[in-house]
């Protein structure tokens, strides 16, 4: 029996596209923490992304240090990303 795939425009497909976008764009895994339909028929979401700290790497810290960043992301009704912006950053943690 074939495994059903998410239909375009479903919540599952929206989450899949957001996770794929952050993996391809930032090379980081994302967790979608909030999503909803936008007034134009697209989608708005917030995602948590764990990224290697560029600042700590720049100053020469030898161990990997990670930042937890929160992004706002918008998709059109065809699930193409139209914008994304980092909204906040929380503490650093070592690997």
**Residues 16-68: pLDDT tens digits?**
999 999 999 999 999 999 988 887 889 999 999 988 887 777 788 878 788 89
Q: How many CB atoms lie within 10 A of CB 46?
A: 17
Considering the entire predicted model, what is its pTM?
0.77
Structure confidence at residue 93 (pLDDT)? 55
Q: Long-range contacts made by residues 2-9, C-beta under 8 angstroms, separation at least 24?
A: 8/78, 8/79, 9/77, 9/79
């Amino acid at each position: 029996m074939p495994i059903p795939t998410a239909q375009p425009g479903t919540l599952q497909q929206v989450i899949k596209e957001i996770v794929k976008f952050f993996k391809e764009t930032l090379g980081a895994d994302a967790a979608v923490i909030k999503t909803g339909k936008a007034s134009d028929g697209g989608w708005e979401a917030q995602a948590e992304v764990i990224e290697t700290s560029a600042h700590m790497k720049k100053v020469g810290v030898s161990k990997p240090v990670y930042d937890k960043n929160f992004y706002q992301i918008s998709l059109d009704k065809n699930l193409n990303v139209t914008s994304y912006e980092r909204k906040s950053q929380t503490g650093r943690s070592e690997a």
